[in-house]
Structure 1
Amino acid sequence: MAASSNSSLSGSSLSSDPEDYQPPIWKSYLYQLQQEAPRPKRVTCPQEMETRPKYYGREFHGIISREYADELLDGVEGAYLIRESQRQPGTYTLALRFGHQSLNYRLFYDGKHFVGEKRFESVHDLVTDALITLYIETKAAEYIAKMTTNPIYEHLGYTSLLKDKTVHRLSRARTEPRRVTFQRDEKITSPVVRKTALKDATEKQCSYEKIHNFKVHTFRGPHWCEYCANFMWGLIAQGVRCSDCGLNVHKQCSKLVPSDCQPDLRRIKKVFSCDLTTLVKAHNTTRPMVVDMCIREIELRGMKSEGLYRVSGFSEHIEDVRLSFDRDGDKADISASAYADINIIAGVLKLYLRDLPIPVITFDLYSRFIQSAKIPDSESRLEAIHETLLQLPPAHYETLRYLMAHLKRVTMCEKDNLMNAENLGIVFGPTLMQPPELNALTTLNDMRQQKLVVQLMIEHEDVLF
């Protein structure tokens, strides 16, 4: 039933190795059905209707009964008109002939015409799309139900990109978390299991798991699904596109696509306010380069700066650096010759972490960290924090691990910078942890626990990470 079609019709954004890539066979059956679908035929009203809304044309027939509308359609496939309801004046109905019967839909307008989710510039486009959808879903219901059972996705190069990459060892630690046992003492000392094996691979490039960022998309010209290889039918909103990697699929196929999005740098428009995992995957790094570059610069020339991270730099200069990162990426100049005040660089790091759409300590784990901090027994509290850390997404875990190691080194210069773990906890608590719901009272009540979580992660960085 499926016929081949030139792969250039797909509008595909595939970027796999040309030597390994084989053009897929697009299944054109649904495309052929769209070509066969009935065409819309407007039934015009012979007289001008004074009550006609300005956004309708001569297809508006005023207040008429459903039976009379059926007569006007005259059994012609694709014929349509608009009538005003007899029972509810001021509401409008689209009467459409399809499948040897008259169908009636409540019609709405909010700047665009719509019956369901899709919104159209004209009633004619709405009817065209409706006829295509009705025809395909009637003729190919069984085919559509089965079209996702033999996906071509794995043959298009997306998953093959993952096979040759080193998988971060943290992924194993998350699936088989180790329980850290602490020795009983008034002050917590070294654990029986000192450190997880995670630090061994911290500088390796990673292949973090990332779900696709699908958004409804209108494709211009024929497009085929890059999961099932079938045509994406309709006039508008035919499917979804991942805004991070450009994958084009049916809406129903998007639920089956594996979580192996490979963000394309050409689609990542900025560095700040970009999802952390998306950014590191796009740059193929273990951590955001903003974090690496800022910490490197701070450790080079600012570790003894009094009030480091507490003293604010000039907001105008911080904004300049932010724009530079968004524009130039890892080529941004944050050297002493460009910004002599190290507090500017420290301020940029805090701003980056604060502006993440999902905080380093993610929304879904926020309450677990807060509850862990409330545990009175110090050993049990650290164990709870450790176990919760292992539930973080890999990119978030690695960023947090690297940051805590840095802040631990900051406390080693406390004699000069006057910043101990508690002070840094006060600064970074609200930066790294934000409640899922923006509630001022919740934030205020949790400030002590936020501070304590960060303080403990700094003090026991060698144990927890």
Structure 2
Amino acid sequence: MASECLLLSQKMWKPELYKIQLEAPTPKAILCKKLNEPRPEFYGYEYHGTIDHKDCEARLSKEPDGAYLIRKSPGAEDYWTLSLRFEKKTKHFKIYYTISKGYFLKENFKRFDTIHDLVADGLVDFYMRLHAGPIIQQLLCQTKTCYEQSPYMTLNRRKLRALSGELRKSSKLSILNDNLPAVDIHEDFVNNVAANVLTIETSNDGVLPEVYEKHHVFKTHTFKGLNWCEFCANFLWGFTSQGVKCEDCAFVAHIKCSEFVPAKCVPDLKRLRGIFGVDLTKLVTAHKCKIPFIILKCVEEIERHGMLQEGIYRISGFADEIDALKMALDKDGEKADMSALANCNVNVITGVLKLYLRLLPVPLITFNSHPSFMYSMTHKTVGEQILSLREAIKQLPLAHFNCLKYILEHLHRIASHHAINKMNVSNLATVFAPTLIATPQHMTDLSEEISMLTALIEHCYAVFL
């Protein structure tokens, strides 16, 4: 096994770009220790005061590539000028500095702690463009069409196959064929929603079946030491912001390569900090489930102990007990014991469930789908509203679809005992509207949202078939 990993790493590592970076010129500051004007406190002896292009050229013309100085251009007010030698020519750049951001160029997104780092990164960038252009272009052409042979697919193929198989069983069989009538709204939903399950059968050519699909969450990242792209297997050049890294699975790529990486992110449970405030799709993917365990456990305890309790969901539990249970769930996950606490005060369980749903980065009824849900209430008849709501739920991501269906059916069961628990459909909709629906924080009048959610709870079995 070790020999196979070594062989794979040798195939992955392509040193051409790394070698080119090593050949790039190194920074060399041209110093000016005698100055007839005050020196800015954030520049050292590389600052030469106010000088024009002609004087600057005279000072740098005989210097090697990589030589640089900082100056004040005549008439400049809010910037300084970096003058740099490259390819025996002097280049000039506007340079800026703030305490919070450090040194940066206006047209560049990178930030640097020192002028030396900024110049070093710029020299590498210039040199790579000049000498590695054909290689980079070839990489883009190859990776754009051949990701099946990329290190990414090589390293993750077995994991993705296993996950695809599990999703077939849980999603395709359990969701799509679970005693549905002839008109299969779920199948239409799956075929039309991006970033969900694509039911393409396994072929015999060895290509991974495109069943599992989740987009990466790439963020620009500064890497320490040597790193290479897990997509094209080539070196990540530069000294800062060399590429991007997925926040969910730690996948690393060039910025350009990330545009071609397939949407097959497999979140690492080790990278999830608890469950509260975590994107729903990310959580169910990492745990390989349809509905997060916290929703299942809370609903189970509430229906066991609180179905007939007056004011269920309206009456709040003690804040300190809710916080304690939240911390236990974040720390222990599915091992957290809620039953003992539920026997004492089920309102703590309802408080935790509402808190979890309220802290979702994207609410169950998402920002994108919200207008369609609200539009359904413009129809005059209940039948038309139900048909319109059926169209609206097609816009939900699969994880949101499953959880919203589960929660609404639970609330429908709660409302069926309203004669005892005093929580009818309208009361429950009033409590859950700010939690389930994407609404602006400053919005105080939720009457239309409450009306829509009332219809969803009351007709949930007709809407979700």
TM-score, length-normalised on structure 2?
0.85
Partner residue in 1 for 2:447: 448
Partner residue in 2 for 1:121: 113
Match of 1:333, SS state, is coil
1:90 shift after superposition: 5.6
Q: 1:91 aligned to 79, 104, 117, which one?
A: 79
Partner residue in 2 for 1:157: 155
Partner residue in 2 for 1:398: 402
**In structure 1, distance between residues paired with 2:75 and 2:187:** 72
1:154 shift after superposition: 4.7
**In structure 1, distance between residues paired with 2:396 and 2:185:** 17
Q: Does 1:70 align with 2:62?
A: no
Partner residue in 1 for 2:329: 325
Q: 1:57 aligned to 13, 27, 44, which one?
A: 44
The aligned runs of 1:238-257 (5 Å cut-off) are: 238-257=242-261
**In structure 2, distance between residues paired with 1:459 and 1:170:** 27
* Preserved CA contact (<8 Å) 1:194 1:463: no
Per mean C-alpha deviation after superposition, the further-off stretch among 108-117 and 87-96 is 87-96
* Preserved CA contact (<8 Å) 1:224 1:232: yes
Distance 1:337 1:148, change over 3 A: same
1:306-345 deviations in Å (ceiling 9; x for gaps): 1111111112211111111111111222113476110110
Distance 1:89 1:286, change over 3 A: closer
Q: 1:306 aligned to 289, 310, 316, which one?
A: 310
Structure with more relative contact order (C-alpha pairs < 8 Å, separation 6 or more): 1
Paired amino acid for 2:135: Y
1:263-310 deviations in Å (ceiling 9; x for gaps): 111111121111111111111111111111100111121111111111
* Preserved CA contact (<8 Å) 2:412 2:457: yes
Per mean C-alpha deviation after superposition, the further-off stretch among 326-335 and 271-280 is 326-335
* Preserved CA contact (<8 Å) 2:170 2:290: no
Q: Does 1:463 align with 2:462?
A: yes
Match of 2:48, SS state, is strand
**In structure 2, distance between residues paired with 1:83 and 1:216:** 30
Partner residue in 2 for 1:166: 166
Match of 1:133, SS state, is helix
State the number of aligned residues.
424
Match of 2:12, SS state, is coil
**In structure 2, distance between residues paired with 1:423 and 1:237:** 51
Distance 1:29 1:142, change over 3 A: same
Match of 1:246, SS state, is coil
**In structure 2, distance between residues paired with 1:341 and 1:208:** 40
Distance 1:452 1:89, change over 3 A: closer
- Structure 1: tracts of 5 or more residues without a match: 1-6, 9-17, 181-190, 200-205
Paired amino acid for 2:56: A
Q: Does 1:420 align with 2:420?
A: no
Distance 1:196 1:285, change over 3 A: closer
Structure 1's consecutive aligned runs of 4 or more residues displaced over 6 angstroms after TM superposition are 169-173
Q: Does 1:356 align with 2:360?
A: yes
1:46 shift after superposition: 4.0
1:94 shift after superposition: 0.2
The aligned runs of 1:424-435 (5 Å cut-off) are: 424-435=428-439
Match of 2:70, SS state, is strand
Q: 2:132 aligned to 126, 135, 140, which one?
A: 140
* Preserved CA contact (<8 Å) 2:12 2:151: no
**In structure 2, distance between residues paired with 1:63 and 1:298:** 73
1:134 shift after superposition: 0.5
**In structure 2, distance between residues paired with 1:328 and 1:310:** 28
Match of 2:344, SS state, is coil
**In structure 1, distance between residues paired with 2:295 and 2:447:** 25
Partner residue in 1 for 2:21: 34
The aligned runs of 1:14-29 (5 Å cut-off) are: 22-23=8-9, 24-29=11-16
1:433 shift after superposition: 0.3
Partner residue in 2 for 1:268: 272
**In structure 2, distance between residues paired with 1:233 and 1:46:** 34
* Preserved CA contact (<8 Å) 1:80 1:94: yes
Per mean C-alpha deviation after superposition, the further-off stretch among 329-338 and 120-129 is 329-338
Distance 1:192 1:281, change over 3 A: closer
Partner residue in 2 for 1:14: none
Partner residue in 2 for 1:11: none
Distance 1:194 1:161, change over 3 A: closer
Match of 1:61, SS state, is strand
Q: Does 1:43 align with 2:30?
A: yes
**In structure 2, distance between residues paired with 1:250 and 1:127:** 21
**In structure 2, distance between residues paired with 1:194 and 1:216:** 42
Q: Percent identity?
A: 39
Match of 1:329, SS state, is helix
1:157-204 deviations in Å (ceiling 9; x for gaps): 33543333233599889xx9xxx9xxxxxxxxxx985975799xxxxx
Distance 1:74 1:192, change over 3 A: closer
Match of 2:235, SS state, is coil
- Structure 2: tracts of 5 or more residues without a match: 144-149, 190-196, 198-210
* Preserved CA contact (<8 Å) 1:429 1:453: no
* Preserved CA contact (<8 Å) 2:12 2:233: yes
**In structure 2, distance between residues paired with 1:339 and 1:38:** 71
Partner residue in 2 for 1:227: 231
TM-score, length-normalised on structure 1?
0.85
Q: What RMSD in Å do the two structures reach over aligned CA positions?
A: 2.8
Match of 1:62, SS state, is strand
**In structure 1, distance between residues paired with 2:127 and 2:68:** 15
Paired amino acid for 1:55: F
**In structure 2, distance between residues paired with 1:438 and 1:427:** 16
**In structure 2, distance between residues paired with 1:90 and 1:216:** 27
Distance 1:370 1:288, change over 3 A: same
**In structure 2, distance between residues paired with 1:195 and 1:132:** 54
* Preserved CA contact (<8 Å) 2:65 2:87: yes
1:245 shift after superposition: 0.4
The aligned runs of 1:379-398 (5 Å cut-off) are: 379-398=383-402
Distance 1:196 1:27, change over 3 A: closer
Q: Does 1:110 align with 2:110?
A: no
